[in-house]
Amino acid sequence: MNKRVSAVLVIAALTLVFCSGSFAAALDAFKGEKGEIKIAGGTAHIPVMKEAAARIMGMNPDIQISIAGGGSGVGIKQVGEGLVDIGNSGRTPTEDEVKQYGLQMFKWAIDGVAIVVNPANKVRSLSHDQAAAIFAGKIANWKEVGGSDQRINLYTRDEASGTREVFWEKALKKGDIAATANVIVSNGAMKGAVSQDSYGIGYVSVGHIDESVAPVAFDGIEPSMQNVKDGKYPVARGLFSNTKGEPAGLVKKIIDYLFSEEGQQIVVEKGFISVR
């Protein structure tokens, strides 16, 4: 083995040891802890929260963490009313919500929201005006935007959804969403609905995109993770975990874990952008 290869292997081994030590230290904070933590709210957060919870509970079975969706509005309301310990939101809580509930906000990831269609659909790019007209129901046939002569089937999220709020504000500029649109309860359900509807269109967190749906460029910009990270893709947001007052005890340790090196690696693995 030549010296250069040997040096590279040594560096790689040292890096692995260092990272493993850092990750172990992050989970060490949960040693000796006991308790049950309830988390609810934004559905985009769920893959990261589930993985973090699995690692924490795997290290210490005396800790129980339950995770539910419901949307950003639900997360904010439930944590504010003391029904859960952490309320997730895909939008910044409003000033009124912060004042009413005494919220503390923690942004641990950045995400984009992308328009998606069925992979069989050849329409892969829409302008703002086209997207706004489609979701308002003013463009009702795919042939009007270069697709086949078929009716457009609209899918949207309920008004408690942070994904909807960001899409409505930044992609549609607060334009109308047709009352005839099918209302879907989560990012995962939206992806499932569009993947099974050849003429469907909806929107999901960029971190949820896989081969089951096709992302659509918005004003000529692809909704890629790199474009979101570089600030080129305009329909982007932070992912927040909110607490009622300053977090303490086990809640604080879970928040801290999300910001740790290991927590941020989970963020990246699940398709989001690290805030580190």
Give the total number of structural domains in the chain: 2
Instruction: Say yes or no: 74 and 28 in one domain.
Output: yes
Instruction: Say yes or no: 170 and 212 in one domain.
Output: yes
- Please enumerate, as own/partner, the contacts of 187-192 that have beta carbons within 8 Å and a separation of 24 or more: 187/43, 187/44, 187/163, 188/43, 188/46, 190/116, 190/155, 190/157, 191/116
Q: Judge whether 76 and 170 are in contact, CB under 8 Å.
A: no
Predicted TM-score (pTM) above 0.85: no
Instruction: Say yes or no: 23 and 72 in one domain.
Output: yes
Q: Give the pLDDT confidence score for residue 24 in this predicted structure.
A: 65
Instruction: Say yes or no: 48 and 151 in one domain.
Output: no
Supply the CATH number for residue 73's domain. 3.40.190.10
CA distance 236 to 110: 7
Q: Give the pLDDT confidence score for residue 97 in this predicted structure.
A: 97
- Tell me, what amino acid is at 271? G
Please tell me the total number of residues recorded for the chain in this structure.
276
Domain around 40:
3-110+242-274
Q: Give the pLDDT confidence score for residue 154 in this predicted structure.
A: 98
CA distance 182 to 153: 8
Instruction: Say yes or no: 199 and 122 in one domain.
Output: yes
Instruction: Say yes or no: 251 and 225 in one domain.
Output: no
Q: Give the pLDDT confidence score for residue 238 in this predicted structure.
A: 93
- pLDDT for 147-169, tens place per residue? 999 999 999 999 888 899 999 99
Instruction: Say yes or no: 93 and 123 in one domain.
Output: no
- pLDDT for 233-250, tens place per residue? 999 999 999 999 999 999
Q: Give the pLDDT confidence score for residue 65 in this predicted structure.
A: 98
CA distance 273 to 223: 13
Instruction: Say yes or no: 213 and 150 in one domain.
Output: yes
- Given a cut of 70, the residues of the chain with pLDDT beneath it are 1-24
Instruction: Say yes or no: 168 and 264 in one domain.
Output: no
